């Protein structure tokens, strides 16, 4: 079954995340969920900060989650909240790993 694409909101959301050297060394790929060109800044020890905007928090959060511990979502508030929820939900699913 194919589902229609998630309708995008008109409101842009701030996006700030950092990519670890393991990911950033290959360059920062263009995320289709981002609006326009993001600002990319090199940080210490090979990390890269990406700042921009999105109107699709749902898709961006799930795509950034793919990077695992190689991605730190710092903001905006809405994206950070969505990532925290995803990580919490995953931790609940895999809670048996702590035994």
Domains of the chain: which residue ranges? 13-98
The Cβ-side half-sphere exposure at 49, using a 13 Å CA radius, reads 9
Predicted confidence (pLDDT) at residue 84 exceeds the cutoff of 70: yes
Question: pLDDT per residue over 2-60, tens digit each?
Answer: 777 666 556 899 999 999 999 998 888 888 999 999 999 999 999 999 999 999 999 99
How far is it, in rounded angstroms, from Cα 13 to Cα 11? 6
> Which numeric CATH code is attached to 13-98?
3.30.70
Whole-number pLDDT of residue 9:
58
Half-sphere exposure of 28 (CA within 13 A, CB side): 22
Residue 97 pLDDT level (bands cut at 50, 70, 90)? low
Could you tell me the maximum CA-CA distance found in the chain, to the nearest angstrom?
Answer: 46
Predicted local distance difference test score (pLDDT) of residue 30: 83
């Amino acid at each position: 079954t194919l589902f229609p694409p998630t309708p995008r909101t008109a409101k842009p959301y701030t996006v700030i995340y950092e990519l670890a050297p393991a990911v950033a060394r290959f360059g920062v790929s263009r995320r289709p969920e981002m609006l326009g060109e993001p600002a990319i800044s090199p940080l210490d020890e090979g990390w890269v900060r990406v700042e921009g905007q999105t109107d699709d928090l749902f898709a961006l959060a799930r795509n950034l989650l793919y990077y695992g511990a190689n991605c730190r979502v710092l903001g905006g508030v809405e994206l950070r909240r969505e990532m925290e929820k995803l990580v919490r939900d995953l931790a609940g699913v895999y809670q048996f790993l702590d035994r």
